[in-house]
């Protein structure tokens, strides 16, 4: 039981779209990730997807609408909703998903989500 500094954890990450687990909450992975560019459209069949922008700005594309999500803003994508995060400039995000959930919604194409 110790405080976890988000900036220190993010400083250890040099890749984009590569979530790293920094804590656990009731079977969920608490992760930090850097976004830049465009992630593929995907959905999570059995879980909501939680995003909090810590630095910078991202866009959440849904099918038919897009939302800018800025520093200090949360966006929760409900279970089953197809979405695509993207960011013109590098953006830092706190992400929450159930432990083991693939970031693409599909194990075959997912990142490994190492612990920091």
CA distance 66 to 100: 27
Taking the complex as a whole, how short is the minimal distance between the CB of residue 86 and its own copies, in angstroms? 14
Q: Select from 91, 77, 17, 82 the least CA-distant residue to 49.
A: 77
CA distance 14 to 33: 10
Specify the DSSP class assigned to residue 41: P
CA distance 116 to 113: 9
Number of residues that bind its own copies (CB under 8 A): 38
Part in contact with its own copies (CB under 8 A); list of ranges 12-20, 34-42, 76-84, 103-111? 76-84
Site for its own copies in 50-69 (CB under 8 A): 50, 52, 54, 60, 62, 65, 67-69
Taking the complex as a whole, how short is the minimal distance between the CB of residue 98 and its own copies, in angstroms? 7
List interacting residues with its own copies (CB under 8 A).
Answer: 1-7, 22-26, 28, 30, 47-48, 50, 52, 54, 60, 62, 65, 67-70, 72-79, 81, 94, 96, 98
């Amino acid at each position: 039981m110790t405080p976890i500094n988000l900036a220190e954890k993010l400083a250890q990450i040099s890749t984009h779209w590569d979530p790293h687990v920094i804590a656990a909450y009731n079977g969920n992975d608490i992760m930090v990730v850097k976004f830049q560019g465009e992630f593929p459209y995907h959905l999570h069949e059995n879980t909501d997807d939680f995003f909090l922008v810590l630095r910078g700005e991202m866009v959440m594309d849904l099918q038919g609408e897009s939302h800018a999500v800025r520093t200090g803003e949360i966006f929760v994508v409900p279970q089953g909703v197809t979405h695509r995060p993207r960011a013109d400039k590098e953006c830092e995000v706190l992400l929450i998903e159930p432990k083991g959930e693939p970031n693409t919604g599909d194990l075959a194409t997912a990142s490994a989500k190492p612990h920091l």
